[in-house]
Structure 1
Amino acid sequence: MNSRKYILKIRNYIFLVLAFFPLMPYGILSVVTATFIFFSLISYSEKIVFNKSNYIKFLGFTGFYFTLLISVFYSDDYGHGISILFRLLPLIIFPYLAIFHSYGLSKKVIENGKKCFLIGSFLLLAAIYFIAFQELKVVGFDKLFYWATLTRSVKSIEFLDLHPNYMALYFALSIYLLIDSKKLITVLKVGLIFVLGITIILLSARAAFISVIVSVILNLFLNSNLAKGGKVTLILIIIVFSFLLLRSNRYIQIGNSYKEMFKSEIISYQEEPTSNEIRVLIIKCFKKILRKDLFFGLGVGDLENRLDKCYVDSGNSFMLKKTFNTHNNYLYLLGSAGILGLLSFFHLLSASFWRALKFNNRVFLMFMVTISITLLFENILSRSYGITFFSYFMYIFYLETEKNE
């Protein structure tokens, strides 16, 4: 075996290891990611294709990052901006590998990567319920359906730095991969999907839950060639999930707190506010500080500092006890890099939707629906696990569609 084939083989194994990122502590995740990037670069060194078409693709998928980079130069907190950009590096490195280094990963390796992710997600699922059941032995198994029970189980796994909403993203994608699987019998597939769906509900991950319903309905309407068993599976998922959605006030209640969003004054909370009230407070402060800087934004290094100042000025200094982001990735990009940054990111999303539809990649389409909806409620591209989740699967889906082009 020559050295190039040996390097490619190592790279492929690391690619499969990286698929288990839901189970990795941050330190290990960083090392595995860096190792995969290193072996990808050296294995592709003689296969780089630089041409106008690839440059345009690369800028289309990474333009928003460069708007954030430019915004550092008009940020007062230059150091904080640089640290954020460093954390976001996978968002430009993975597209670089996918676009300029197309030689390497076979369809079989990519499929094995998906399987490894599924295995990792179900191992994580088992660990969560194992921990939850230890608590339920004491307080009673009827408490499983209390919203906080499973969330406490997630947060008790301290070495993984887990977040319920990010785990819900893993489980949502697992549902899509199961739907697309042709090897599992319908009964088993529906059973596994049901368990994952119930878990998303118990994690109180509203964005992921809604995105699953939207994705499944969209898939059902767009896929005219879907087999009878697949249609039955999707219809059952829609019926069960819609029933659970309608039964849960937590999911359909808009709440009086959101009415405050359309008022100009910012309330000073004397008691600890609800999560919805906190989100409204963040949005109202966001509107106040960005009023005069809408076009260019405040700079990637200054947005959080300006929000903190607004909380203090409005009598809500309790917000400084924890680090609160904008809880909306679109607002974060708008506040950091202005309209150009937001439009650049919309181009990435629209180009991805176009590729998914053009090549009839159902999982890619459902993945994009889930990401787009979740970005309305969470800054998933501000945490390492969200960045890895997005980068890894965008890399996979780009290669899948490129091989079909």
Structure 2
Amino acid sequence: MEKRMSMLLFPVILIGSPIKINFKKVLTYYSILFTCLLVVLLIRFLVIEPELVSKYLKGIHLWEMGYSFANSTGVHAPALNMHVAFLVVVNTYLAIRYLIESSWKILNYRTLLFLISVFLLLIINTRLAVANAFIGIFLVLFLELFKKVSRKKLVTVTASTLAVLILMVFAFAKAFPYITKKYTTVTFAHMDKVGKLDDFENPEGEVFNSFVTRVSIWKTAWERAQQDIWIGVGAADGKDELNQAYLDTDQQFLAKYKFPTHNQYLDFLLKFGLLGLLAVLLYVLNILWLGWRLQHSVVLFFFVLFFTSNLTDDFLIRYDGITFSALWISIFSALFIKNDCSTSQSIEKSS
């Protein structure tokens, strides 16, 4: 109940307030404060974990520092990187807005904030968040520039942004070669071992956080969910039933660590059946509807981010995922209802 109170409080406060939302100002304050907070937390991490930083700089256990940095903030790495991916896209949007307005002095520091947020994203380096951020950058570029600048300027800005991102990723990969390996051979390694993780001599060391482990969990959750497809097993019994399914299918490694579903759609299907799956889809698709009506690139990206993030994790059973989505959906809804607008032009006028 404590986790889900934000789904009541944020709508009451934000939608119920008579004050109109200045969306550009909200994004401006959010981007500055969050970027500065992350920089402070990174500096703190460099001080308290010098050994991990030293190993990272030497190319040893590169995955470890990102997860350790996230844990030092009190947030799970995939959840933190979901936030950072959104921050990257917000910084992109604001930089593009000031570019269109030819506010060059503001654009300079906006570009700096954008580069810092991309650097932080690569430090934590969860694969889905990086992919989402890059999709979001070009979604914002296209939607914001397409109707407002000439085709020549659109191509120039897009090509310049792409060149900067390629240069940053190339420099990062050159300094830390494991990145290339992570995004090629490591991600899809051992896919022939789905459901057979006990065949590894040391699954903890070889596949604990790997994609094949996630797929094995999803396969087991899907098979168990089909047995109670209409009404599910119930919220209280979902985790226990999944753990029992690991034992019933003789997957001792998964049973030992009692892995959750790591997929919000499968989690609700297992717990509540088809109605549960429909409910979570409606919750997420509501963001798409708001983005479509508002015709706003940031809102549309938020849908892409939250929809895909819940394919590899279960953020609607986590406090950070619940509050993150409830806050921004409430802001988007208040923007739509109070400003009585359905186009990006009217949003800009209200800002």
Class of the TM-score when normalised by the shorter of the 2 chains: 0.7 to 0.9
Partner of 1:169: 82
Aligned residues of 2:284 and 2:303 also touching (Cα < 8 A): yes
Structure 1 position 335 matched with structure 2 position 262: no
Q: Give the TM-score normalised by structure 2.
A: 0.76
Partner of 1:395: 330
Partner of 1:27: none
Partner of 2:41: 127
Structure 1 position 306 matched with structure 2 position 241: yes
Structure 2 segments unaligned to the other structure (5+ residues): 174-178, 341-351
Q: Secondary structure of 1:296's partner?
A: coil
State how far apart, in whole Å, the 1-side matches of 2:323 and 2:267 are: 18
Partner of 2:202: 271
Segment of structure 1 superposing worse, 385-394 or 173-182: 173-182
Aligned residues of 1:220 and 1:231 also touching (Cα < 8 A): no
State how far apart, in whole Å, the 2-side matches of 1:131 and 1:367 are: 29
1:5-404 equivalence runs, <5 A: 87-95=3-11, 101=16, 103-108=17-22, 111-112=25-26, 115-116=29-30, 118-132=32-46, 135-136=49-50, 139=54, 142-143=57-58, 146-155=62-71, 157=72, 160-181=73-94, 182=98, 185-223=106-144, 224-227=146-149, 235-241=159-165, 244=169, 248-253=180-185, 254-261=187-194, 266-269=196-199, 270-273=201-204, 274=207, 275-276=209-210, 277-320=212-255, 322=257, 324-404=259-339
Q: Secondary structure of 2:288's partner?
A: helix
Matched to 1:332, the amino acid is D
Matched to 1:124, the amino acid is L
Q: How much does 1:164 deviate?
A: 1.3
Q: Secondary structure of 2:311's partner?
A: coil
Matched to 1:206, the amino acid is R
State how far apart, in whole Å, the 1-side matches of 2:202 and 2:56 are: 32
Aligned residues of 2:35 and 2:113 also touching (Cα < 8 A): no
State how far apart, in whole Å, the 1-side matches of 2:59 and 2:197 are: 35
Q: How much does 1:123 deviate?
A: 1.1
State how far apart, in whole Å, the 1-side matches of 2:164 and 2:268 are: 36
State how far apart, in whole Å, the 2-side matches of 1:399 and 1:168 are: 26
Partner of 2:347: none
State how far apart, in whole Å, the 1-side matches of 2:109 and 2:127 are: 25
Q: How much does 1:322 deviate?
A: 4.3
Aligned residues of 2:93 and 2:140 also touching (Cα < 8 A): no
Q: How much does 1:315 deviate?
A: 3.8
Q: How much does 1:186 deviate?
A: 3.8
RMSD value over aligned CA atoms?
3.3
Q: How much does 1:299 deviate?
A: 1.7
Taking a change above 3 Å as real, the CA distance of residues 132 and 360 of structure 1, as seen in their structure-2 partners, is same
Matched to 2:34, the amino acid is G
State how far apart, in whole Å, the 2-side matches of 1:345 and 1:140 are: 41
Segment of structure 1 superposing worse, 369-378 or 145-154: 145-154
Aligned residues of 1:327 and 1:379 also touching (Cα < 8 A): yes
Aligned residues of 1:178 and 1:193 also touching (Cα < 8 A): yes
Partner of 2:343: none
Q: How much does 1:347 deviate?
A: 2.4
Taking a change above 3 Å as real, the CA distance of residues 204 and 321 of structure 1, as seen in their structure-2 partners, is farther
Taking a change above 3 Å as real, the CA distance of residues 267 and 108 of structure 1, as seen in their structure-2 partners, is closer
Q: Give the TM-score normalised by structure 1.
A: 0.67
Taking a change above 3 Å as real, the CA distance of residues 323 and 400 of structure 1, as seen in their structure-2 partners, is farther
Q: How much does 1:216 deviate?
A: 2.2
Q: Secondary structure of 1:88's partner?
A: helix
Aligned residues of 2:136 and 2:301 also touching (Cα < 8 A): yes
Q: How much does 1:323 deviate?
A: 5.1
State how far apart, in whole Å, the 2-side matches of 1:86 and 1:135 are: 33
Taking a change above 3 Å as real, the CA distance of residues 218 and 311 of structure 1, as seen in their structure-2 partners, is same
Aligned residues of 2:143 and 2:297 also touching (Cα < 8 A): no
